[in-house]
Structure 1
């Protein structure tokens, strides 16, 4: 009986999504906006009320608690979102990857369904976004102030540069509103990707936010200062020999790349106090950029309401990945730890999604494109490896829904001295394998931060191989690696079976990288 009801529900949903009155679809994405920096997600920063407009959007729609990036770094994540594919399949492993025009699947599929398509804001995929009907995208990373855009209709790419004045969050929002207002065929549905640069570091907020949080102490994570049972030889080195090398730090821990030194805090100030000072400065700069995003979204949502577009438009809010905000004495993303790999995902569409829902189902960014295509009434292409989450929007988790999500970070030691790793995350556990090699052997021997001199950077080189296991129910902040605890031996066996299955199913093995496969084979058990 339950299965019959589920089939009926899905049929109704399919009919509603294939209705001739297709919904407009707006996909909003910020850069590095961690879920735990959104009030609706709770956590230590929620008391600061950083995102009232996003919180309201979540209260009127559905919030996903367990949404994860499959490769937590800007360019690969954006490629996954557009293709519905894992990194080896779409070909974008790292920041140097280029998403060929022929693989810009999402806008192509939306155009087939009769949508007018546009992308405005950050693109970061190194090639013209020509699959969209209209684009106005930042040059590379883009500037916080007076950003320049490649804009369709302003000449031949890449000479079609348009200069603007103002803060990027304001400029991008104004461009979005102008594009919606200026559309010629208002009867045609539109699909818009609205992408902020903020809050990517190096943070620069609009001046009106300079006083925001000035007199407030931002709550600090306990593992900023102490985590004696965290990590493994792959992240700490043998006998902690890499503790001053691995991962950009808030504190003075990292020899070359710690924020106490970046902020030029007096060397005579004791370590704990200096770390707290650096953390407060870092978080306030970050949250001021977040505040600018949220305020712009408040203005944008009001614009939609004023133009009768709010209730009949699918609005999705997400980020390209999470962000370490001092947890484990780390900043930046890339890690498989919760704060870096968890993505916010909020969807608002009153015609389909009931208000005030929160889902615990595991989704990842391969699911975004299939979901948006499904909502538009289309058929998800077989080449996409993700799944539509429409059943989850109705509170029904299909029997064959994933129980764990695969993750892989490829850029061994590059930029932030973070070792390459892959793993699997279920609702209860996280298993991570640090395999200690760069995929591109030509990069081994280079400086990890190759824009600096050798006396200010470590080299890309092999690092120790190791496993880490975290019991997420007992240890949600991941400070106690239990991989070597015999009590978890059966759990580890089961997780490795699923990890291997997903690596094979999603074309994520290392057949093309025998030096990595050797480490996998020799250290699997």
Structure 2
């Protein structure tokens, strides 16, 4: 009898604590880094975990909840950020690529949360072109921004984007954190709960760290991924993908990473790739170190003021990133390293410590979740994402939760990165991708079309395309039905793009 009563009392206490948190609305701190991938954390347990690259962010996860299956729906900066701020997929919010923008009247997250009594601030990398006017306060980098001596756009007497300030002599990670701390200390109305969106530029390429980190990892040999050399490996990819992609070794030279890192071209492989990889990872991880240390500065402030207990801290990256896996760099591909997002939630007053979640979540779900945490009872109908706030409370996954998450990359072969246009879905176990290989308007370079199918349970590194495996025909047919249904439900068909649709029709049953 006693063994049943104790857990019941514990659950009642937890529910009561959540009820108390609901009465006092929590502050919400949304921290996002640019291209900070799950491999570059300690808490996600990758080959780099022993380097302890993120002790402060890991501490948030260990005292909160780590999410293991969070995905973007388009792995590049502007579309991912557009989905986060609108709760919508690309064709609905209108941002298909890096040229897209979000007007103030469609900056839905700050608009809706202000109705719930929140004061809002957007600080750091914005990358959505138009003025972030829906926020009460903003101080944002122009476009990609600079790592050193960064200029920020602010409100002022001139029209956007004419009002600027410059943080001379500072690294962007330090400057962005200084600005956020200044707003937290002196810029906000402390009688209101806040939503602060704190966005680092780092560790985006070309990975420029603050000078104090120049010797960090200097004498350390960074572990390589098992699939760095000799790629593409037999069985990986398809005719649509095997000849393409930018990477670390001479097998994938299109973007010139090794050259930009100062690695001489006359060095033979594999030494050339090994040297480029070490330079690449050390520069990247030095930027990550600066992010992690600055996260600690904000957490320390909230601790000192007594606000940490009832502040929801959400940490993420705007997408994943390749750190040499498949001999790739950058993002864009639907393979796990680029597709998967880190996501950590810390909220002492509302989330039990040390929990791990495996629901299939994507970045359209962030805005609905933040709104529910702020006390908004119903997600606006125009948002396509769904709140997963119940997961934070330890609730069971709803029976009608998504069975697969959708992805689409539109920027066919852009920026010398050589990534063909594609779309697909990922379920708990399987991934189906169609590479259609053409620009939406049908113009320009066309690459071969092909399907790829991966069993992520048996092949988590996605080294063997099983699309032609007769044993997989049944599940592939089921996944195609689900893919078609998902595209229709999300307004993600190619009805507006006949050149693409013609390729889909010609290859759907092949």
TM-score bin, normalised by smaller chain? over 0.9
Q: Secondary structure at the match of 2:359?
A: strand
Q: Distance in 2 between matches of 1:265 and 1:105?
A: 45
Aligned to 2:441: 440
Gap change, CA 1:174 and 1:255, over 3 Å in 2: closer
Q: Distance in 1 between matches of 2:132 and 2:303?
A: 29
Aligned to 2:386: 387
Q: Secondary structure at the match of 1:235?
A: coil
For 1:150-178, what per-residue CA distance to the aligned partner results, in whole angstroms no more than 9, with x for missing partners?
A: 01246431111111120000000010000
Give the stretch that moved more between structures: 78-87 or 262-271: 262-271
How many residue pairs get aligned? The number is 493
1:20, distance to aligned residue in structure 2 (A): 4.1
Contact 1:154 1:161 in 2 (8 A): no
Q: Distance in 1 between matches of 2:344 and 2:265?
A: 43
Structure 1: stretches of 5+ with no match in the other structure = 237-242, 446-460
Aligned to 2:472: 488
Aligned to 1:466: 450
1:394, distance to aligned residue in structure 2 (A): 2.7
Q: Distance in 2 between matches of 1:346 and 1:256?
A: 34
Q: Distance in 1 between matches of 2:330 and 2:356?
A: 27
Q: 2:195 aligns with which of 175, 181, 191?
A: 191
Aligned to 2:3: none
Contact 2:18 2:349 in 1 (8 A): no
Gap change, CA 1:185 and 1:101, over 3 Å in 2: closer
Query: What is the 5 A alignment of 1:81-160?
Result: 81-153=84-156, 155-160=158-163
- 1:234 lines up with 2:232 in the alignment: no
Q: Secondary structure at the match of 1:137?
A: strand
Structure 2: stretches of 5+ with no match in the other structure = 1-7
- 1:506 lines up with 2:490 in the alignment: yes
Give the stretch that moved more between structures: 211-220 or 183-192: 183-192
Aligned to 1:401: 401
Q: Secondary structure at the match of 1:221?
A: coil
State the TM-score, normalized to the length of structure 1. 0.91
Q: Distance in 1 between matches of 2:219 and 2:350?
A: 43
- 1:177 lines up with 2:177 in the alignment: no
Q: Distance in 1 between matches of 2:454 and 2:16?
A: 38
Q: Secondary structure at the match of 2:241?
A: helix
Gap change, CA 1:324 and 1:154, over 3 Å in 2: farther
Q: Distance in 2 between matches of 1:102 and 1:364?
A: 23
Gap change, CA 1:17 and 1:120, over 3 Å in 2: farther
Aligned to 2:67: 64
For 1:88-142, what per-residue CA distance to the aligned partner results, in whole angstroms no more than 9, with x for missing partners?
A: 0000000000112221000000111111110000000111000000000001100
Aligned to 1:428: 429
Give the stretch that moved more between structures: 156-165 or 340-349: 156-165
Q: Distance in 2 between matches of 1:418 and 1:47?
A: 31
Q: Distance in 2 between matches of 1:13 and 1:377?
A: 16
Contact 1:119 1:135 in 2 (8 A): yes
Q: 2:249 aligns with which of 228, 251, 274?
A: 251
Gap change, CA 1:296 and 1:184, over 3 Å in 2: closer
